[in-house]
Amino acid sequence: MFKQLIVGLILIACLVSLGVGSQARDQSSQSQPKPAGLIPPVYYDSLLNGLQILVVERPEQPEVTIGFMIKSGAAFDLVGREGATDLTAHMVLRKTQMVNDKPLAELFQDLNVSADVSVTWDATRFMFQAPARNLPQVFPVLAEILSRFTFPEGDLASLKQQRLAELRQRPVSPSDRTDLEFSRLVFARHPYARLVEGTVDSIEAITAADISRLHRRFYLANNAVLTVVGDVSSQTIMPLIRPTFGALRRGKIVPSTFTAPAKPTGIQVKVADQPNSKEAFIRLGYLVPSRASDEFTPLLLLNSALSRKPSPLDRVASAFPPERVTLTSHLDARALAGSFSIAATTPSPLAPAVISSLLKFIDSIRSEGINHSDLAAAKSYVIGNFPGRLRTNRQIVEQLQDIELYGLGRDYVLVFDQRIERVTPEQVKKVVADFFPTTDLYIAVTGPATEMMEELKARGTVEVVK
């Protein structure tokens, strides 16, 4: 194996990226020009087992943040076992018996380590924070809990009961229900349509064998990225990482072979019936390409243009009685596909008229695009927002993880602001024309079905759910 150490001086933002470190071991290092960098150089390395290592030295930060990301998420949950990936991740942090016979919680307390985990459809992300002086003791502990996955049956049963109680007690707002039904429309049979945290029925069905299978298949060194940011250097941290995380198992990465979500034929409407509601919650939108696609940047700027205040959507809302209709846009970018939508809250009698106005608005931006001033304001907002997203160690870890997860390309980092500035109104108009037809789209509505049914049926195919 050869070694490659890449030192990149980079401008990072919430939507930018770096290339993946080589697994080789003695090629010459590279450096890149620093375009008004907001973080120090990023050191890239990899272990023989394929684990990618990223280190950012910030000596002014005595606390060190350690991110460990599995590049697989809840999309791989089996049908009827939704929530299993999330339970697996939380079981890692509930380890009650370590090799030295101390519970993990006690070890973390002794070493001043804080820990949490988050799961999305695309990834599982562990975050640890600890004083730099304790890292020689911290890394062996982290390597053990991530690689040696054993647990008493009682621990899983306890976690399941906790999760079931949360699901049963969690209130579901009309807005949340609308979002859920919209996601089910857009992604249909694709795993993205399912809930990351699962349902009461799916959590009850999950077994210890399901949890062990997920850990065995996906917690692989060559399917993971270890990122360390804080008062560390590559010279001091790599001798701690190699003998500990070097023991993580390498394996065959499970590919994403899911059937791609299909675009709709005609207008498909789903109504979550709430007969006594005086309001209607609407989400109207489309399936769009993945986070790594060329279309993402124009979509990002379109979403920014529609989200700022005042926005073109405010002009649509102004046609209705003051303060009675609110409109917002949403871009949900994921590894395999995403969605773009406009959400509306309105008195239920106005819902059909609001939908009609939104379709006319989409027709207008299909034919005319967005104006130069709206696009310029969106560009200014996106570029100007970067620094605030990179102030903490954790924010830097999260951005570097996104870069690795979506494989966005090292050159994209270096010229991010130029890429934003280069987007033209014509490019935004083309994305709208390609992906936002007003004859083929999804509409989810939560509200009184009977009151809206006649006019909704005139729009397209309507399904009512309780």
Q: Is the pLDDT of residue 284 over 70?
A: yes
Q: Which has more pLDDT, 454 or 321?
A: 454
Q: Express each pLDDT in 119-143 by its tens digit.
A: 999 999 999 999 999 999 999 999 9
Q: What is the mean pLDDT of residues 393-401?
A: 93
Q: What is the mean pLDDT of residues 407-424?
A: 79
Q: What is the mean pLDDT of residues 190-209?
A: 97
- Percent of the chain past pLDDT 90, that is, above it, reads 78
Q: Express each pLDDT in 324-370 by its tens digit.
A: 899 999 999 999 999 999 999 999 999 999 999 999 999 999 999 99
Residue 450 has a pLDDT of 94
Confidence of residue 17 (pLDDT cuts 50, 70, 90): very low
Residue carrying structure tokens 């917002």: 328
What domains does the chain contain, in order, with CATH numbers?
Answer: 47-245 (3.30.830.10), 267-386+425-465 (3.30.830.10)
Q: What is the mean pLDDT of residues 11-27?
A: 35
Residue 364 has a pLDDT of 95
Q: Express each pLDDT in 368-382 by its tens digit.
A: 999 999 999 999 999
What is the distance between the alpha carbons of residues 420 and 15, in angstroms, rounded to a whole number? 11
- Ranges 10-14, 68-72, 388-392, 462-466, most confident: 68-72
Q: Tally the residues of the chain.
A: 466
Residue 408 has a pLDDT of 81
Q: Is the pLDDT of residue 14 over 70?
A: no
Q: Is the pLDDT of residue 32 over 70?
A: no
What is the distance between the alpha carbons of residues 307 and 152, in angstroms, rounded to a whole number? 48
